[in-house]
Amino acid sequence: MSERRAHIAALDGLRGFAVAAVLLFHAGLVRGGFLGVDLFFVLSGFLITGLLLGEAGRGRTALGAFWARRARRLLPALVCAVVVTVPATWAWGTSTQLRFALDDVPWVGAQAVNWHYITEQIGYWNASDTRVFAHLWSIGVEWQFYLAWPLVVAVAARGRHAERVVAWLAGTGALLCLALMHSLGAAVDTTRAYEGTDTRAAALLLGALVATAPVRDLARRVPRRAADLVCLVLACALASAWAVTDGEKAPLLFQGGLFLHSLAAAVLIVLMTHVPGTRAARAAGGRLPRRLGEVSYSLYLWHWPVYLLLLPRLSGLGHLGGAAVAIGVSLVAAEVTKRLVEDPVRFRAGWARGRRGPVSVVALGLVGAALWVAVPAPAQGAGTVDVSRLR
125 neighbors 100 (Cβ within 8 angstroms)? no
Q: Tens digit of pLDDT for each residue in 196-213?
A: 999 999 999 999 999 999
pLDDT at position 29 over 80? yes
How large is the average pLDDT for residues 109-115? 93
For residue 379, what pLDDT is reported? Answer: 63
Within a 13 Å sphere around the CA of 144, how many CA atoms are in the beta-carbon half? 22
pLDDT at position 385 over 80? no
For residue 116, what pLDDT is reported? Answer: 94
Q: Tens digit of pLDDT for each residue in 337-378?
A: 999 888 887 776 655 566 665 666 667 667 666 665 666 667
Which of 226, 263, 225, 222 shows the shortest CA–CA distance to 241?
Answer: 263
What does the domain layout of the chain look like in residue ranges?
3-61+157-294
pTM for the structure as a whole = 0.91
Which of 189, 153, 195, 182 shows the shortest CA–CA distance to 50?
Answer: 153
pLDDT at position 251 over 90? no
pLDDT at position 388 over 50? no
For residue 390, what pLDDT is reported? Answer: 46
pLDDT at position 118 over 60? yes
For residue 386, what pLDDT is reported? Answer: 44
- Structure confidence at residue 185 as a pLDDT band (50, 70, 90): confident
- Structure confidence at residue 387 as a pLDDT band (50, 70, 90): very low
Characterise 277 by phi-psi region: left (phi > 0), alpha (psi -120 to 50), beta (else): left
For 36-40, 126-130, 264-268, 330-334, which range has the lowest pLDDT when averaged over its residues? 126-130
How large is the average pLDDT for residues 289-307? 96
For residue 246, what pLDDT is reported? Answer: 85
